[in-house]
Structure formats: C-alpha cells, structure tokens
Structure 1
Amino acid sequence: MQLLFNLFIVFFSTFLFSTQNISAQSLDFNAGKEIFSQNCTACHEGGQNVVVSEKNLSKNALEDNDMYSIDAIINQVTNGKGIMPAFGARLSDDDIQNVAQYVLNQAETSSW
C-alpha cells in the first residue's frame, strides 16, 4: 500500500510540475511574440528579411546561416551583425530569450 501511495505522489508531482512548465512556455511565447512585434517587424515582418532576403527567419535559412539554435539567435539579437543592430542594450536578457524562443518556434513549425 505504501508503494502505491509513493507512486501516486511521484506521478502527481510530475504532472503538476509539467503543467506549470507548459504554462510558463506559453507566457514566454506570448512575450516573445510581443517583443518581436515591437522591435523586429520593421525588417522581419512575417519571418522575412527586407534587407537581405535569403537571410530570412525560415528554418532552412536559419540552418543555412548557422542560426538554428537559441544560443545563435540570442547572440545575434544581443550583439547584432552587419546591418542588423544590437538589441542587448535595449532589451532585457529575458526579453531576448523570449524573442529567440519565439523565432525558433515559428521557424520549426513554419508558422510565419
């Protein structure tokens, strides 16, 4: 009986923590979407790139340009590169993390 109770506690705890994580991811996605809308759409509306069209935000383009990871996107947004300005001084680390997750999610799901 004690074993059954312990298993119940483990499964319940796992479920409880996993649903909290899903909720946090949803908030991060929404925050990332908002940050992207406010700061990135002038050049990247709909995942495009109005300056250098082949460097858009599609999965293939991100892969081709070694940008298909959270770390690569965070670095690009923080420090800028070429004509893209750095946003590290304008956005918080959390904001940059959220927008990077949003961009990667949109690319992974072809949701642009």
Structure 2
Amino acid sequence: MRALLAIGLSALISLLSPSIAFAADAAHGAQVFSANCAACHIGGGNVVNGQRTLQQDDLKAYLANYNDGHEEAIAYQVTNGKNGMPAFGGKLSSDDIADVAAYVESQSVNGWA
C-alpha cells in the first residue's frame, strides 16, 4: 500500500512541478565548435558570407525566431543548415548541438572576445 501511495504521489508531483531542463554545456560546445564549425566561423566570423557572422546583431538579423529563444534558434540552424551552411543534424547528437548553441550564444553576447 505504501509503495502504491508513493508511486501515486511521485506521479502527481511530476505532473504539477515544472519540467527540469538540463543546462547545455558551453565548455563542451567550445570543443564541438572547434572540431566542426571553426573552419568557417573562426572568431565568430563567416568565411563563406562575411555578412552572416555569429555576432549577436547579425544573429538577430538573420536567424528566424532568434528573439523568441536564442539557443533554440541557433540549434535549429546548426541542425538543419541553410544556404551555404550544411546541416549537422545527421552528424552531431542533439546534446552536441545544444552545447554548441550555448557556446555560440555565450560568445555572441561577449562579442567573441
């Protein structure tokens, strides 16, 4: 009986409490960026299209839904690619993509200094 009550209480708490989101690991994202992105985006630049950098103002200007969720918009771009940027959804795990998005966002906020 106690076990059944504990299971029921646990289920109720999980339904009523907000979801626990695991924070992305920007330090790991730096490693993923270095291995997969830096060839085109070293220092937050863009060797393919110099107007599409990873500076925050540029991200705001050309990433869909950036203002609704910075890291989510970056992760979408990394996953799906667009124009000259290849899609990395088939190459990187979703955790790697979340981590690199966290890294890019943190760097863009700091001006890639």
TM-score (norm 1): 0.73
Q: Which runs of 4+ in 1 moved over 4 A?
A: none
2:94 is matched by which residue type in structure 1?
Answer: D
Structure 2: which 5+ residue stretches go unaligned?
1-21
Structure 1: which 5+ residue stretches go unaligned?
1-23
Q: Which range moves more in the overlay, 68-77 or 45-54?
A: 68-77
- Taking the aligned partners of 1:57 and 1:76, their CA distance within structure 2 comes to 12
What is the CA distance between 1:111 and its match in structure 2?
Answer: 2.7
What is residue 77 of structure 1 aligned with on the other side? 78
What is residue 102 of structure 1 aligned with on the other side? 103
What is residue 61 of structure 2 aligned with on the other side? 64
Larger helix proportion, structure 1 or 2? 1
- Taking the aligned partners of 1:37 and 1:43, their CA distance within structure 2 comes to 10
3-state SS in 2 of match to 1:101: helix
* RMSD (Å) for aligned C-alpha atoms: 1.7
3-state SS in 2 of match to 1:55: coil
- Taking the aligned partners of 1:30 and 1:107, their CA distance within structure 2 comes to 15
Identical-residue share of aligned pairs (%): 45
TM-score (norm 2): 0.72
- Taking the aligned partners of 2:56 and 2:29, their CA distance within structure 1 comes to 17
Change (3 A) 1:85 1:66: closer
What is residue 92 of structure 2 aligned with on the other side? 91
- Taking the aligned partners of 2:72 and 2:26, their CA distance within structure 1 comes to 17
What is the CA distance between 1:102 and its match in structure 2?
Answer: 0.3
